[in-house]
Amino acid sequence: MSAAAATAVVDKGTTAAYRDKLAGLLGQRDPFSVLASTADEIGKLFAPHPAEKLRRRPYEGKWTPTEIIGHLCDSEWVYGYRVRLILCEEKPTILSMDQDLWVLGQRYNERDAGELLADFRSLRAVNLKLWRGVRPEQMARYGRHNERGEESLGAMLKMLAGHDLSHIDQIRRYIAALA
């Protein structure tokens, strides 16, 4: 097997594991309910803690709780754009992002977690309105992710909700580790 073929197999396995993880976190929950409650859930986690605590790094090489909410803001921008692409174009290419570079480049850890949460809440409200307007037959429309292959709107909706749940759990664990 060539090196390129071996890499492709690993990438497909990694992609499947990522999708399975997010689907497993969502389980039978309604993705719209999860998306609608994420900002409130994070707000409850952040509320008892001062901004400087949320900027502390609980583990070497990992994001801070503040950086996580910054990442969720980025995810809203990216997913919002992807949904619009898929709704308006036929099988568009969906580009990936280097989430670590985005978090570092925007210096999220220098920002206030409460302000980032407010930004996330606003972005989510706009995108949730869009998601709720997607007709059932449109959920089968898809784009071609440059790393993960074909992704339908229906799959993306579930992945985004699972992504939220993953980061809510991560914030919960990181705040506990900072105690």
Tens digit of each residue's pLDDT (9 = 90 or more) over 110-159: 999 999 999 999 999 999 999 999 999 999 999 999 988 999 999 999 99
Tens digit of each residue's pLDDT (9 = 90 or more) over 65-89: 999 999 999 999 999 999 999 999 9
Q: What is the pLDDT of residue 6?
A: 33
| Strand (E) or helix (H) holding 151 | strand 149-152
Question: To the nearest 10°, the Cα dihedral for 125, 129, 132, 138?
Answer: -120
| Strand (E) or helix (H) holding 69 | helix 65-88
154 near 140, Cβ under 8 Å?
yes
Structure tokens at 14: 């990694």
pTM attached to this predicted model? 0.90
